[in-house]
Amino acid sequence: MQRLPNGSADFILTDPPYLVRYRDRQGRTVANDVNSDWLNPAFTEMYRLLKTGGLAVSLYGWNKVDLFMDTWRKAGFRVVGHLVFQKPYSSSQCFLRHTHEQAYLLAKGSPLEPDYPLADILPWDKTGNRLHSTRKRYVRWRG
């Protein structure tokens, strides 16, 4: 990101490590999911790259929401929405079955509001990719 010019991105979608020590059913882990040293520098760069009036969507780990929220705000982002992606399966369970992923909609400056806003709850489809433990595939929204 450091080699890209300021304001060169219209939109950013990021699915960073959730900092939850993730381990899938086969025992695979996610790089950098145990340390948060990269978090502030990465989101500071994303903010720099995003055009004024641009939007970013960042997935995050629900039990680290305070850390992510502090990071986004320190970088300069303004929270303008929250998305829930409903999964047809449970990725894990403890006190609850985890059947969703979530993301915040972040703004740089004051973006124009859309004529037809998306719903804040959207469907999620499992990729079935056995080589990538947390790969996402978004179901295209039809308004």
Greater model confidence, 56 or 127: 56
Split into its structural domains, the chain has a count of 1
pLDDT band, very low/low/confident/very high, at 131 (cuts 50, 70, 90): low
Residue found under tokens 């502090």: 70
Residue 66: inside a domain: yes
pLDDT band at residue 88 using 50, 70 and 90 as cut-offs: confident
* DSSP 8-state code for residue 63: G
pLDDT, tens digit (0-9, with 9 covering 90-100), for 27-64? 888 888 889 999 999 999 999 999 999 999 999 989 99
Mean pLDDT of 75-101: 90
pLDDT at 140 over 60: no
CA distance 134 to 131: 9
CATH number at residue 18: 3.40.50.150
Longest dimension (CA), the chain: 45
Query: 3-class SS at 83?
Result: strand
Residue 131 lies in a domain: no
Q: Quick check: is 125 in a domain?
A: no
pLDDT the model gives residue 95: 94
Residue 143 lies in a domain: no
Query: What is the share, in percent, of the chain residues with pLDDT greater than 90?
Result: 57
**Structural domain containing residue 28:** 9-83+100-113
